[in-house]
Amino acid sequence: MTDVPTIAPFLWFNGQAEEAARLYTSLFPDSRIDSVTRSAVDTSGAKTGEPLVVAFTLAGRPYLAMNGGAHDPFNDAVSLSVYCADQAEVDRLWDGLIADGGRPVQCGWLHDRFGLRWQIVPAMLPKLLDGPDRAGAKRAMEAMMRMVKLDIAALQRAFDGGG
């Protein structure tokens, strides 16, 4: 790592940091692996010469991933929220992140195969939920609460009163 950002999310993996970074950078534009620091000694998460820390850029933002071992798994207290322009983007990211062992949860949340939590959110949703039409917001929120992967057309229909 040459340029260290002031603040970057630091994600802890159990031996899969580089694999996870490669998946994430394949799904988002303006993404890349910036560097892979190999362990100089055996640690609980990486043997000598194996990837220890992976610096990567995800959608233009810096991230770090470390092979730290199995003792600190991800949980629902932290997730990455992605605002999507349209249903095609929701579908593409959803499918890419649950592939090969991830699992859908509810309300646009999922766990990827590494256990990291994601929220795949249509960019229009906050406008529906925060706007002046509180009855429409209630209907949209109720519809969202029944969904797993979010459906933009169904959310809009609910907001408009069309169920």
What are the pLDDT tens digits along the chain (163 aa)?
A: 456 668 999 999 999 999 999 999 999 999 999 999 999 999 989 999 999 999 999 999 999 999 999 988 999 999 999 999 999 999 999 999 999 999 999 999 999 999 999 999 999 999 999 999 999 999 999 999 999 999 999 999 999 998 6
* pLDDT tens, position by position, 23-55: 999 999 999 999 999 999 999 899 999 999 999
User: What percentage of the chain carries pLDDT values higher than 70?
Assistant: 96
Check: CB of residue 17 under 8 Å from CB of residue 65: yes
Please name the fold of domain 74-163: 2,3-Dihydroxybiphenyl 1,2-Dioxygenase; domain 1 (3.10.180)
74-163 shares the fold of 1-70? yes
In a 3-state reduction of DSSP, which class is residue 80? strand
Would you tell me which CATH number, out of the four given (3.20.20.60, 3.30.70.920, 3.10.180.10, 3.30.479.30), belongs to the domain 1-70?
Answer: 3.10.180.10
What are the boundaries of each domain within the chain? 1-70, 74-163
Query: Distance between CA 136 and CA 128 in Å, rounded?
Result: 7
What is the structure's pLDDT at 72? Answer: 85
What is the structure's pLDDT at 1? Answer: 46
Q: Whole-prediction pTM value? A: 0.92
What is the structure's pLDDT at 71? Answer: 84
